[in-house]
Amino acid sequence: AKKHLAWYFSETHTVSPSANGFTQVFTAAEPQDDVSYTTRINYDQTLTPTMLFHIGVGLLHTNHPAIPPSFDQNTLGWAKNFYVNQFPNFTGLQNFAVGGVSLAGTAGSMGTGFGVEYLKDIKPTGNASVSLVKGNHTFKAGGELIVEGFPQLNYTRANGGLGFSAQQSGL
């Protein structure tokens, strides 16, 4: 019986300053430092001249942190601060025609609306199969396993979200 073992590894590392021209804490830009690993081991064995057995296991692991700059909310003079020391998210300020501001690329917001210390995509995978060749036909039976996981330490809206609008906010 012929046996074959194969291994695969890949790493992708992406760093982006997400720069929009503003370096102040009110910017919506969040630097990113993404790392993704893919590892796979495959084993094949010829059981008979017309039958092949295959088994494989792997892991895909991606980490996507998006951490805005730290900001001391005490400097705003509020009685109580929000959970995370980041500049609050102000929305509804994009209409410059009536006195608001228009910041290109930020959808009219000041401060971050989404921040995570880590956002991980963890996927263990596995598969097994048996292939059989009979004349001009190939028959294959097997199974596949993919385990989904998406743990995160999320700071979204923990820095405070304050929206401004011409719409009424109560009855």
Tell me: the pLDDT tens digits for 96-115? 555 545 554 445 556 666 66
pLDDT for the residue 70: 75
* Of 40, 52, 49, 51, residue with least CA distance to 4: 52
Torsion of CA 108, 111, 114, 120, to 10 degrees: 130
pLDDT for the residue 105: 45
Q: What is the pTM of this model?
A: 0.60
Domain ranges of the chain: 3-160
pLDDT for the residue 106: 45
User: Is residue 44 within 8 Å of 7, Cβ to Cβ?
Assistant: no
DSSP character at residue 93: -
Model pLDDT for residues 70-96, shown as the tens digit of each residue: 777 778 777 666 767 777 776 666 655
pLDDT for the residue 134: 95
Encode the chain (171 residues) as per-residue pLDDT tens digits.
Answer: 699 999 999 999 998 877 666 666 766 667 778 899 999 999 999 999 999 999 999 999 998 877 777 777 778 777 666 767 777 776 666 655 555 455 544 455 566 666 677 778 889 999 999 999 999 999 999 999 999 877 777 666 565 666 666 665 555
pLDDT for the residue 22: 65
DSSP character at residue 124: E
Query: Facing residues of 41 across strands?
Result: 7, 57
Taking the C-alpha atoms of residue 16 and residue 106, their distance in angstroms, rounded to an integer, is 16
Q: Determine what percent of the chain falls in helix, strand and coil, rounding each to the nearest 5.
A: 5, 50, 45
**Strand pairing of 89-91 and 161-163?**
parallel
* Of 18, 19, 16, 20, residue with least CA distance to 34: 16
CA 4 to mean position of chain CA atoms: 35
* Helix (H/G/I), strand (E/B), else coil: 156: coil
